[in-house]
Structure 1
Amino acid sequence: MTDIDPLLDPTGRIQPVRQAIVGGRSLWDDARARLFRNKAAVISMWILGVIVIVAVFGPMVWMNDYKEISDLRTIAPTLEGGHILGTDIQGRDLFARLMIGLRISLMVGVVATAVSLVIGVTWGATAGYLGGRIDNFMMRIVDVLYALPFIFFVILLLTVFERNIVLIFAAIGAIEWLTMARIVRGQTLAIKGKEFIEAARASGVSRRAIILRHILPNVIGPVAVYVTLTIPVVILAESFLSFLGLGVNEPLTSLGVLISEGAKTMGEKPWMLLAPAITMAVTLLCLNFIGDGLRDALDPKER
């Protein structure tokens, strides 16, 4: 019995050879797969997505306006008139104000974090790569700003300028970038001596191109994790300022303002405090779970 060539069928005709093309998976594909396997992070992303949709589109379609004042003051939650969370001391619908307050808090968190991301990443990568006296000078500036109390810095800005929401962005973003700069500097110091950096330097690539093309893409993992953990910190900072009366101006509101107002009537009308407090707690928990999921997904030890 003769052996049949695997390329030939029983009739002796040559069959085409089909080669399986195996596509490689990038590190980002692996990280995304690990992130989606994290049930807490996935559920948090869905819940956060619903919260963002409600904050963005809710005030546009809700039957009551957050600025509208009525004679129905501090009423309990009721379906009559659509006041499902009741009204505040001026008769304004609390659910409408909760949605607009959630929008303001999320906007402050995202914008201030974006400001800290741009400044912190640029500052930290430049200081870490250049090193020497430039690194020492730049990081001493960071140390000096760290020594300045946050609340004192905000009060100073409010004294010089008028209180507005843009000022809150500037005040919080001007402080939160300091930690970002230190994280990026540490990561830059760890990779600037690697072979691919030396090869790029030997090839005549400019410092600016090395930082943009080689340094920053390799620090994006820790930065992405820190960004998701910075947004809750910024929201809490804005809420703290609003609780002290240094936040947004009326008729705008935020979660911190609503919590401050609800705390004054906590004993008699607890719903005025519970609604914004629970909303803030759920939002912060979702952001922290997503941050933990990203940290585990981007951890090289988990690969």
Structure 2
Amino acid sequence: MEENLKLDPEAKVSPEDFQALPKEEELDAEKIAAPSLTFTQDAWRRLKKNKGAVISLFVIIVMIVVAFGSTPFINHDTLVKSAPKYANLPAKIPGVDINGFNGKLKQGGVWVDQYKANNIPEGTYFVLGTDYLGHSLAQRIIYGTKVSLIVALVATFFDLTIGVSYGIVSGWKGGMVDNVMQRIIEIISSIPSLVIVVLMLLVFKPGMTSIILAIAISSWTTMARMIRAETLQLKSQEYVLAARTLGESPIKIAMKHLVPNLSSIIIIQTMYTIPSAIFFEAFLSFIGIGISAPETSLGVLLNDGQKNFQFLPYQMWYPAIVLCVLMISFNLLGDGLRDAFDPKTRR
């Protein structure tokens, strides 16, 4: 065709002179190379790339299911009633012949079968052994994990209610209202949580009530400060100014515009609040001003186990391992969520 055009400049071009390219060879400058994803879908895609965060999420889900799903199968009476006949028995797993997991305990350099020595009936065994009162360590660890998770849920509840709402109001109002509200937070933050718990003990007995009240008073301040700082930036955005110009009420603006844009900060801070609350409860119970025997928690188990640690180390090792795994999992998941929701880490 080009030769004909060169030879005859006046030649006319007809549609038959053109041949369509195959579909796969079409050039489309508007073609999108990647699928369209929402912010949540993009965050989940990046979170899945973090193997540590995914494994931690799986571990947390398993621990929550075991802790709360086993409640119907655990008799609360067996957690508080002593059984001296079964005291200080080591772990025994049927079919496993490994020292430390076959019912044997090292005494004087010799491994002794404690189940036979204590005339334990055949077929009776404890997967993680027993404590000095004959309680099953496995059941008490599961119940103690449940208590720790309940404390974490309480801390999360106060973070999401008091902390988020307080921070939004403080940042949205600004001026004198913001100054007064921030001074209140500074006063609360200046009082150690341990002092608040001790003051609670003057009114309430040691237990969940005093821990929950201490968390309700002081745990939400960090969340409130972060939400307030972000609200100060968001309230000057164009879409917020447009909503205010159209006459939207502050409550509707907060629910429709502020909270969705604050969701990443809320989720990430919550993931860091949970392990702090778990450690707080375990520490208080360990030093004797939290949950106390015969009730159980991971802190109580650690306190009981350290008394016999030299001769029966397993009584402290097992609850310590569960506590460490629980806290590390939440921290790794929090790091993963921070990277997934942070726009600067997008790739």
Instruction: Please give the TM-score of this superposition, normalised by the length of structure 2.
Output: 0.79
- The match for 2:80 among 67, 84, 100 is 67
CA separation in 1, counterparts of 2:188 and 2:75?
A: 46
> What displacement does 1:111 show?
1.6
In structure 1, what is the equivalent of residue 111 of structure 2? Answer: none
In structure 2, what is the equivalent of residue 102 of structure 1? Answer: 145
In structure 2, what is the equivalent of residue 201 of structure 1? Answer: 244
Aligned residues: 291
In structure 2, what is the equivalent of residue 220 of structure 1? Answer: 263
CA deviation map 1:215-264 (0-9, x unaligned)? 12111111100101110000000011101112224432111111111111
> What displacement does 1:212 show?
2.1
- The match for 1:149 among 187, 192, 197 is 192
Residues 129 and 211 in structure 1, CA contact (< 8 A), matched pair in contact too = no
Give the AA of the match of 2:337: L
> What displacement does 1:174 show?
2.0
CA separation of 1:54/1:203 partners in 2, compared to 1, >3 Å: closer, same or farther?
same
Residues 152 and 275 in structure 2, CA contact (< 8 A), matched pair in contact too = yes
Residues 113 and 173 in structure 1, CA contact (< 8 A), matched pair in contact too = no
Q: Secondary structure at the match of 2:70?
A: helix
Gaps of 5+ in 1: 7-19
Give the AA of the match of 2:91: P
Residues 129 and 136 in structure 2, CA contact (< 8 A), matched pair in contact too = yes
Residues 128 and 186 in structure 1, CA contact (< 8 A), matched pair in contact too = yes
Pairing 1:39–2:51 present:
yes
Moved over 6 A (4+): 20-23
Greater RCO (CA < 8 Å, at least 6 residues apart): 1
Pairing 1:176–2:219 present:
yes
In structure 2, what is the equivalent of residue 51 of structure 1? Answer: 63
Task: Provide the aligned C-alpha RMSD in A.
Answer: 2.2
CA separation in 2, counterparts of 1:283 and 1:113?
A: 16
In structure 2, what is the equivalent of residue 262 of structure 1? Answer: 305
Residues 296 and 302 in structure 1, CA contact (< 8 A), matched pair in contact too = yes
> What displacement does 1:166 show?
3.3
> What displacement does 1:2 show?
4.0
User: Alignment identity in percent?
Assistant: 37
CA separation of 1:236/1:147 partners in 2, compared to 1, >3 Å: closer, same or farther?
same
Pairing 1:158–2:201 present:
yes
In structure 2, what is the equivalent of residue 24 of structure 1? Answer: 36
CA separation in 1, counterparts of 2:229 and 2:18?
A: 64
Pairing 1:271–2:286 present:
no
* Structure label with greater radius of gyration: 2
Pairing 1:77–2:98 present:
no
Query: Does 111-120 or 281-290 show the bigger shift?
Result: 111-120
Superposed, 1:231-250 pairs within 5 Å as 231-250=274-293
Greater share of residues in helix: 1
In structure 2, what is the equivalent of residue 3 of structure 1? Answer: 18
CA separation in 1, counterparts of 2:130 and 2:186?
A: 46
Q: Secondary structure at the match of 1:76?
A: coil
Residues 86 and 93 in structure 1, CA contact (< 8 A), matched pair in contact too = yes
Q: Secondary structure at the match of 1:81?
A: coil
